[in-house]
Amino acid sequence: MESARGQLLIAGPSLIDPNFWRTVVLLVEHSDEGAFGLVLNRPSETNVGDAAPELEELIEPDEPLFIGGPVQPSSVVILGHFEDPGDAALIAFDDVGVLGNAGSLEEMSVGLRSARAFVGHAGWGPGQLESELERDDWILEPARVQDAFSSAPGDLWSSVLTRKGGSYALVARMPLDPSAN
């Protein structure tokens, strides 16, 4: 399979795993060795200023921390929108990617248009994501900057499906419990 890096993984209606139910995941990396992504639509009730005040140089203190996925929930990943990322980031698409560990926070903040903090991430081993895609667990859609930094992350799943159009727009309006319809 060709790399899906820079794509959104939109949870299909049959994906009932509570870690990914109705999520939108930005695939930051995808190769034969596996995949790495961030769940974009799970803000926590904790803000950056309370949980990680050292990140205030990069992110407004009242911004929420996002739950990036079930893997390594004690780690923090910074997703950034860059003017010029240089070597400071792993780019997912265009000028959006995750910050690396090189340099101080002050050095990393240079050229950073906006940033969002995620605790944990989503990860797949070799062939795992391809299997899930073949089962139609996920729907692919090219990522846009406004998806990665949505001001309404709770609505992202339905808005991206609506944008995709056709039968996907119908799925976007599906009730939480279709059997109760």
The DSSP secondary-structure symbol of 12 reads P
Whole-number pLDDT of residue 102: 60
Whole-number pLDDT of residue 117: 96
Whole-number pLDDT of residue 178: 59
The stretch 55-67 carries a mean pLDDT of 94
Whole-number pLDDT of residue 174: 75
Whole-number pLDDT of residue 41: 98
pTM value is 0.92
How far is residue 89's CA from residue 58's CA, in Å, rounded to a whole number? 14
Instruction: Please check the confidence at residue 37 and state whether its pLDDT lies above 90.
Output: yes
pLDDT tens string 143-155: 999 999 999 999 9
Domains of the chain, start order: 7-180 (3.40.1740.10)
Following DSSP, what letter does each residue of 45-98 receive, concatenated?
EEEHHHH-GGGGGTS-TTSEEEE--SEEEEEEEEEEEES--TTSEEEEETTEEE
Q: What is the mean pLDDT of the chain?
A: 90
The stretch 58-68 carries a mean pLDDT of 95
The stretch 35-46 carries a mean pLDDT of 97
CA angle 109, 151, 100 (to 5 degrees): 30
How far is residue 111's CA from residue 12's CA, in Å, rounded to a whole number? 36
pLDDT tens string 85-129: 666 678 999 999 998 776 666 666 667 899 999 999 999 999 999
Q: How confident is the model at residue 134 (pLDDT cuts 50, 70, 90)?
A: very high
Instruction: Please check the confidence at residue 179 and state whether its pLDDT lies above 70.
Output: no
Give the residue, 167 or 25, on which the prediction is more confident.
25
